[in-house]
Amino acid sequence: MARTPTGGVTAARLAGAQLARFIRFVERTSDIVAEPAGILDRLRTDHPCIVAIWHGQFMMSGSYRPDVPVAAMVARHRDAELIGTTMEHLGVELVRGAGSAGRKKDRGGASALRAALQCLSQGKSFVMTADVPPGPARRCGEGIITLARMSGRPIVPLAAATSRFKSLDTWSRLTINLPYSRLAFVYGDPIFVPRDASAQMLEDLRQQVERDLNTVTRRAYELAGADVSRATPRSADPSIPPARPGLALKTYRSLTRALAPFAPLVLDHRGRRGKEDAARRPERLGIASRPRPDGPLAWVHAASVGEFNAVLPLIERLTEARPDLHLIVTTGTVTSAAIAAARLPQRAFHQYSPIDTPQAVKSFLDHWRPDLAVFTESDIWPNIIMALSDRHTPLALVNARMSGRSSRRWRRRRRIAQQLFGRFDVVLAQNAQLARHFALLGAPRTVDAGNLKVDAPAPPVDKSELSRLKGITGSRPLLVAASTHDGEELIVAQAHRILRQHLPELLSIIAPRHPGRGGQVEAELFAAGLDVTRRSTGSDPAASTDIYLADTIGELGLFYSLGDVVFLGGSLVPRGGQNPIEAIRLGCAVMSGPHHQNFAEIYGRLQRAGAVVQVGDAQELAAAALRLLTHQSARDEALRAADSVLQAMGGALEKSLNTLLPLLPAAEAAPLPAGENDLAASDAPVAGLRRALS
């Protein structure tokens, strides 16, 4: 175990001694009330027991107890030294360690559990927080349930509150109790966990501990005459209003308002580079190009192609589940707009997303008046989020992800993060770790929903065009390089040259991530001495073609179906990689470079299963491609492993759908058949029975 430097230990011990004196001072100067009456006698009867408290609410928890030996769990890290020293001065024995909260890092939980069991067997009551850092706050972990099951001793919920206190801006709303207060202690009924409890019973008891702890906490603040919401994290009570915009967000709003007149100039510049649709530019300024449909309307925003493809199945399921619902789907790129126009279901339509100025956002929201707003992955626009919150529009973030770098950046700006993420009604994260990150950033409700891209169907394929191209390429071996970025096309070209020494008839298909780069890529490949055919010109590959440049929109499914082996771009250069799932769904063995942090969890699982090959340069790409192209068994093995991984990771679509539907306004009841209204008016109970039986 790493030791705290001597100076740090000394300072913590001195401070701990002073804090213990302060706690005794708060107790001496406060009027104490306890509930229920005679609780100290009952605690002596339950002793030894497991005293459960919420993290952040522990300052006064040990000052009112029967004269019995008590131990408590304290984490090993440096910050816990102060708390541990304080408790020692209050006569509490320490057990070092903490639960992992789902993290891989060993925080001493196993050894602490053994020590806690020993304390209980020796007749010492044991105090521990039910929720585990870094949250979510006020969610009972499994550790305290395990301790109760293994020890046979009851869990007793405890809360202490004072009328005067300060709450710090931490994940658990750490509360500093102040002297000259009304000090309330509330104990709950003991909760026993049978040693042979089933998994469902353990979960039911975990939820009971959570409920009872919340109940005694509310009651303690009520008895103390204090506002419990001031000491409650918003993640534990979404009814608490989000943090008001601070100076940074107010400045952002003012600057974007002042710069809004220059927005058309920026859009013109982007238009000249092919990044804006000039004919639909008013949509970017919040000016709608069609009327709002009647009835409930949900707004789904996806930044670009990848996000749109991920959320499309959810859009389809929403329209199936709510036949009265229309959806406006916004994206910010020309490519995604074209794909949306071709793939959106009935009652869903596309508009370009408004730029994030107060004027454009107001115009957009005034016209569309969405009943629900759903953002995808990591697209966070402050003015839009604040405007939706001000209008009390339910707001969700689905398939939410965040890179480690972004998470660190947001944590450095925690107040801003809380003011933004605290306005989301729910964040549906791609995994449990991301759910914890969003909770730490202030999201009031986070759900480990999984990755929507795992449940997304394979991209569409034009069957007739596939048949035609198969007739042209014949038996030629094919290497597909999909979603490549600047610099990667030449690496693929170099790998192609190496492969041609072993596969003289090889045809490589390169599909740039941004088709508008087609001319630039063609010039680079020609300069490298390769024969290139561009699909966007309507030309087909000839027998002499080295590279078929697929610089078109929405045809990746076609080329995945045409080839058997694919290299996914954005991974040999630091762009975060591309989604491997679509290629796998269409039967391709996948290769990727080392830069795939945008899909870290998926690639991690695929690599551990041997379902994807990582390459670092042209030589490695050529060697891996040669093996996969010439060994059917290697391709089949990779695909079997990949299918198994994806099957195990599925389920995000149903979780997301079931979470979003309750956020929508209730569907209007269908009108009763003719004659039924008369019956309902004359005999309502009979009418209700008749409807139930029909």
Residue 583 in tokens: 């290629």
Q: How many whole angstroms separate alpha carbon 376 and alpha carbon 395? A: 11
- State the Cα angle at 184 between 181 and 185, rounded to 5°: 145
* Backbone phi, psi, residue 79, to 5°: -60, -25
HSE-CB at 398 with a 13 A cutoff on CA atoms is 33
Residues 6+ apart with CB under 8 A from 318: 298, 325, 327, 657, 660, 661
Outline where 227-262 has alpha helix (H).
Answer: 247-259
| Under 8 Å between Cβ of 427 and 421 | yes
Q: Which of 606, 625, 377, 385 is nearest to 495 (CA)?
A: 625
| Under 8 Å between Cβ of 639 and 590 | no
Q: How many whole angstroms separate alpha carbon 608 and alpha carbon 610? A: 6
Q: How many whole angstroms separate alpha carbon 175 and alpha carbon 415? A: 18
Catalytic residue among 27, 81, 276, 307: 307
Q: Is 307 a catalytic residue?
A: yes
| Under 8 Å between Cβ of 54 and 157 | no
Residues 6+ apart with CB under 8 A from 634: 589, 627, 628
The sheet carrying 395-400 orders its strands as 348-352, 326-331, 297-301, 372-376, 395-400, 426-429, 446-448
Q: How many whole angstroms separate alpha carbon 146 and alpha carbon 141? A: 9
Residue 527 in tokens: 């300069």
Q: What is the largest CA-CA distance in the chain?
A: 93
Residues 6+ apart with CB under 8 A from 102: 432, 433, 436
Amino acid, single-letter form, for residue 678: D
What Rg, from alpha-carbon coordinates, does the chain have? Answer: 31
* Chain-centre distance for alpha carbon 195: 35
Verify cis geometry, omega within 30 degrees of 0, for the bond prior to 459.
no
Phi-psi region of 181 (alpha: psi -120 to 50; beta: other; left: phi over 0): beta
Q: How many whole angstroms separate alpha carbon 250 and alpha carbon 254? A: 6
Outline where 273-355 has alpha helix (H).
Answer: 281-284, 305-321, 334-343
Residues 6+ apart with CB under 8 A from 622: 494, 495, 496, 498, 499
Q: What three-state secondary structure class fits 437?
A: helix
Catalytic residues: 307
